[in-house]
Amino acid sequence: MTNAQRLAALATTRKQREFDHDFLASWEGCITWEDAPIGQPAVLPGEFVVEEEDVLAYNRALGETDPLFIDPGYAREHAPGGKILVHPVFVTAIAFWMTRPGNALSWIKTPGARNPFQHVRVRERIAVGDRLTVIHENSDRFVRRGKPYITAHIVLRDQRGVEKVEFWGTLILPPARDDVRRFATA
């Protein structure tokens, strides 16, 4: 069994089943640090519809214990809006779902990348049922202690046009395509 097959067997939600389980298959579609466009905010194609099963999977993976996170029946009675509540770092799933090979955010799937720091600002909590539009730009690219860093600035707007979350995601990338290839083919 390949690792991708192993991961496919773990999928429990529609998005997880439809997602490409072979992370390395699309490595050539990852934009590199030196080629990533900086600035140029743009709406990523499509939208992220927040399904209850997506949120449950996230909350359960973290072992959350509050029934407002993990029990839809309890949440119907007691949660604002009657739906289970969303964890602020759920934005990770949104970023990965919206990333496509070749787009300006594709570097988040770079083999060999490292995660140094992250910043999420929640204006209004994301809710089950939200249809989120993702506005993205690469806001910075810098070298620190000889390592190449890149930062994405992501804004999530709901179906009313309300800005709900701002997210600055930073990674240290392998410096050039040959370095990425070395990890992708390891």
Partner 1 sequence: MATSPSLPFLDDLQTGVMLPELTYKVTQDLVDAYGMASLDLNPVHMDPAWCERARVFGTPLPVAHGMMSMSFMASAIYRAWGALADIARVESKFTKPCPIGTTVTVRAMVRDTHPLGSGNGYVTLTVEAIDQANEVIGVSEIDVRLPRLPGAKP
Other beta carbons within 10 angstroms of residue 3's beta carbon come to 11
According to DSSP H, which parts of 79-138 are helical?
91-98
Q: Output the smallest distance, CB 104 to partner 1, in A.
A: 18
Which residues contribute to the site for partner 1 (CB under 8 A)?
3, 7, 10-12, 15-16, 19, 21, 23-24, 54, 57-58, 60-69, 71, 74, 78-80, 85, 87-90, 92-93, 96-97, 109, 111-123, 125, 183, 186
Q: Output the smallest distance, CB 70 to partner 1, in A.
A: 9
Residue 40 or 65: the one with the smaller Cβ distance to partner 1 is 65
Q: Output the smallest distance, CB 122 to partner 1, in A.
A: 5
In which region does residue 33 sit, left (phi positive, over 0), alpha (psi from -120 to 50) or beta (all else)? alpha
Residue 60 or 76: the one with the smaller Cβ distance to partner 1 is 60
Instruction: Pull the structure tokens for residue 152.
Output: 């994405």
Q: Which amino acid belongs to residue 161?
A: G
Instruction: Pull the structure tokens for residue 92.
Output: 């990770």
Reduced to 3 states, what is the DSSP secondary structure of residue 2?
coil
Q: Output the smallest distance, CB 6 to partner 1, in A.
A: 9
Q: Output the smallest distance, CB 23 to partner 1, in A.
A: 5
136 near 156, Cβ under 8 Å?
A: no
Q: What is the separation of C-alpha 131 from the centre of its chain, rounded to a whole number of angstroms?
A: 15
The Cα–Cα gap between 40 and 138 comes to: 8
Residue 3 or 159: the one with the smaller Cβ distance to partner 1 is 3
Residue 120 or 135: the one with the smaller Cβ distance to partner 1 is 120
Residue 9 or 40: the one with the smaller Cβ distance to partner 1 is 9
The Cα–Cα gap between 140 and 131 comes to: 28
